[in-house]
Amino acid sequence: MTKIREIISAVESWVPVRQQEQWDNSGWQVAGCDPDDECSGLLTCVDVTPAVVAEAADRGCNLILSHHPLIFKGLKRLTGATQVEKSVMAAMRSGIAVYASHTALDVAPAVGLSHEMGRRLGLRDMKVLAPRESGLLKLVTFVPHDYADSVAEAVHAAGAGCIGRYDRCSYRVAGTGTFRALEGSNPFVGETGSDHAEPETRIEIILPAHRKNAVEAAIRSSHPYEEPAFDFYRLENENPALGLGITGTLPEPTDVTEFVNLVKKAYNAPAVRCSGWSGTVRRVALCTGSGGEFITLARSMGADAYITSDVRYHDFVDHGQSLLIVDTGHFESEACCKEVFSRIISEKFPNFAVYSSRVEKNPVTFM
């Protein structure tokens, strides 16, 4: 028996809602049922519409997991006058919960949508295109020498210590910790009421901010002291693993026509908009969703081609001769979210059936 809350916890273990962009509204959208209810079925989609809600009800699903938030702005009324209002009302009437993972999924290390499309294109040596400028903390803690390894091990297991392509990273230096245990304490070393000096190891480890609670819990559970000393410092470093878009390299140089056909196949796009650039494509940058703002960044990083959607006319005019711009369409660039959601959930619950919406389609029609 798998609860709705357990399904969402599995998603958030990979895609914490706290890592979304400030303007976004990822997370719970509609509580059509209790999150502690058994999940009777899960339907994934890009957008929640009345048709998608009806499909979930027909399939017996009481949870919808979408990429785009159903609610972006506050609702002042529920009269059924808009598609959003109709969808919310239908979900409530049908007892269906709705959860969205939008930019939280876009920026997620390894499992984000841009990484998924990069893999489908066969890109190698992928790196984040626009790393998050904040979101890193440094942990400093002090541990008796004999326990330094076990505490560091627990902290690493909680998600700390990753720097680029290295993990289990830490800095350690020996020192002396001093304290006096007061009445009512239970000191691991030393005597109550007496000053004590203990040889200790200072451990410094970097971590994503969204792992802070898990790392703190790991320290408290593994540290021998009843009151472990630790500090979290906020860093201004870029987080190279967290951010929007990716860059990568094709296995072989590819001409424009062959590359565009590769993109259309990977994105399942019937047609794409392209700039008039001519040349050979090897270095590729991409950003799923609306990523026109990163065109100049892609070029500055040596990209021959940049794939995104919702590109403005003047971006084609200003930059289209500097690199190949490929606009796949917004829906096509993010439809892979359904497979990503399914993979995340199936890893935790291998026998749980995840359905992908069959009724939703690109709202933009090509004629």
Q: What's the total number of domains in the chain? A: 3
Please report whether residue 210 resides in a domain.
Answer: yes
Is 189 in the same domain as 127? no
Domain boundary among 219, 237, 255: 237
Is 249 in the same domain as 125? yes
Is 202 in the same domain as 268? no
Buried b / exposed e over 34-71, threshold 16 CB at 10 Å, is: ebeeebbbbbbbbbbbbbbbebbbeeebbbbbbbbbbb
**pLDDT for res 310:** 97
Please report whether residue 46 resides in a domain.
Answer: yes
Q: How far apart, in whole angstroms, are the C-alpha atoms of residue 277 and residue 207? A: 41
Is 207 in the same domain as 161? yes
Helix-helix angle 113-120:256-267, to 10 degrees: 130
**pLDDT for res 333:** 97
**pLDDT for res 365:** 86
**pLDDT for res 236:** 87
Q: Which residue has the tokens 């007496």?
A: 194
Residue 218 contacts residue 157 (beta carbons within 8 Å): yes
Domain extent at residue 298? 113-131+243-332
Please report whether residue 275 resides in a domain.
Answer: yes
Please report whether residue 107 resides in a domain.
Answer: no
Domain with 77 in it: what CATH number? 3.40.1390.30
Please report whether residue 366 resides in a domain.
Answer: no
Please report whether residue 289 resides in a domain.
Answer: yes
Q: How far apart, in whole angstroms, are the C-alpha atoms of residue 62 and residue 293? A: 37
Domain with 224 in it: what CATH number? 3.30.70.120
**pLDDT for res 73:** 83
**pLDDT for res 335:** 97
Is 72 in the same domain as 209? no
Please report whether residue 163 resides in a domain.
Answer: yes
Is 319 in the same domain as 254? yes
Domain boundary among 215, 237, 259: 237
Residue ranges of the chain with pLDDT lower than 50? none
- CA-derived radius of gyration, the chain: 25
**pLDDT for res 172:** 97
Which of 201, 207, 181, 366 shows the shortest CA–CA distance to 273?
Answer: 366
Is 172 in the same domain as 200? yes
Is 262 in the same domain as 281? yes
Enter the pTM of the model.
Answer: 0.81
**pLDDT for res 75:** 87
Domain boundary among 237, 266, 281: 237
Is 138 in the same domain as 232? yes
Element (H, E) at 6: helix 4-14
Is 25 in the same domain as 63? yes
Is 141 in the same domain as 233? yes
**pLDDT for res 257:** 96
Please report whether residue 361 resides in a domain.
Answer: no
Is 125 in the same domain as 253? yes
